[in-house]
Structure 1
Amino acid sequence: MKKILIIGSGGAGKSTIARRLSNILSIPVYHLDALFWKPGWEQSDREEFRHKIQDIMMQKTWILDGNFNSTMEQRLEMCDTVIFLHYSRFVCTSRAIKRRLQYANRSRPDMTEGCKEKLDMDFLKWIWFYNDRHAPVVMDRLNKTDARIIILQSPSETAKWLNDLSSF
């Protein structure tokens, strides 16, 4: 594992797992949210965003966490490993709510400074229906890639996988 993509529903813990993997494997981590969002939740130019990702993917090692459909194909072509956090809607929704409370009125560590944590009904709906609407599309894409696919379906399964990995 040298070029790792971490995907999954909002609230699944992609950034947390990316940081843990970075510590275990000594590979730099890049959070797509931090690359895309400018202070005040202003979107980056799509081409600028794509170029940032392309520059990162030219490095020998990287961990990229986040979904961003607009660059998914590009990232799937370049990675050697995909970790798909395929958690239940209840886990992801409760974690998103907890994160909102934890980082109220401030930016979380994996986000651009000046993007205070927020939670709105559209995002909650996206999380709630992720497994019904988005996960099948993700699975279809994963079935077409040559990368190693790791699907983790619960926080406990993920914790065990990370513990096993760190013991090597």
Structure 2
Amino acid sequence: MIKKIHIIGSIGSGKTTLAKQLATELKIPHYELDNIVWERHPDGDKKRSITARNALLEKTIQKEAWIIEGAHHTWIAPSIEKADLIIFLDTKLTTRKRRILTRFIKQKLNIEPANYQPTLKTLRFLYQYNTIFENEAKPEILTLLEPYKEKVKWIQTPKELRTLIKPDT
């Protein structure tokens, strides 16, 4: 039985939505890598030290079951190694940008909660990061995942995702 799942992909690829859905269906706790990197405070986030971040990731992956998701890839090797299943969400760049804009609007209208202050500067950064992800991070992630290819599911389309979630349909 799959008890440890790592979901990786760019901003707006559907990682959090998928993680929440799987967490509910499988009754497994869900952890966002951003919350491992950042200490959340009402007056603003504070970045954890590398040592504290790595210790928190290690504590998380020692649990019996987990779903970890995020766009981070340079320091996540321990969770990739321990995962029973790795899902790489490789959604089209145009889809991700549309989702980022939709999320931004919902956060500005207080329809959707945000872990960060939704500003135009943040929106611009998220758009820029998506291009960087496509050109730089994605090849690095593919290299990182190569030794684990037997447990990687590379999802590029909504149909592939539906098949992964509900294989009988």
Same fold (TM over 0.5): yes
From 153, 156, 159, the equivalent of 1:153 is: 156
Quick check: 1:105–1:116 contact (8 Å CA) kept in 2?
no
Aligned to 1:130: 133
Aligned to 1:99: 103
Q: Cα deviations across residues 44-102 of structure 1 (Å, max 9, x unaligned)?
A: 22211111111110011100001323422122121121000001100111111111111
Aligned to 2:3: 2
From 28, 49, 53, the equivalent of 2:57 is: 53
Gaps of 5+ in 2: none
Moved over 4 A (4+): 105-109
Quick check: 2:8–2:72 contact (8 Å CA) kept in 1?
no
Aligned to 1:73: 77
Aligned to 1:82: 86
Quick check: 1:88–1:153 contact (8 Å CA) kept in 2?
yes
When residues 105 and 50 of structure 1 are mapped into structure 2, their CA distance, relative to the original with a 3 A threshold, is farther
Name the CA distance, whole Å, in 1 between partners of 2:99 and 2:164.
20
Deviation larger for 26-35 or 37-46: 37-46
- Percent identity of equivalent pairs: 23
Name the CA distance, whole Å, in 1 between partners of 2:45 and 2:162.
32
Name the CA distance, whole Å, in 1 between partners of 2:10 and 2:66.
21
Name the CA distance, whole Å, in 1 between partners of 2:155 and 2:62.
27
Name the CA distance, whole Å, in 2 between partners of 1:161 and 1:62.
18
Aligned residues: 163
Structure 1-normalised TM-score? Answer: 0.85
Aligned to 2:165: 162
Name the CA distance, whole Å, in 2 between partners of 1:46 and 1:54.
12
Aligned to 2:31: 30
The SS at the match of 2:79 is: helix
Q: CA deviation at 1:3?
A: 0.8
Structure 2-normalised TM-score? Answer: 0.84
Quick check: 2:100–2:123 contact (8 Å CA) kept in 1?
no
Gaps of 5+ in 1: none
Quick check: 2:100–2:126 contact (8 Å CA) kept in 1?
no
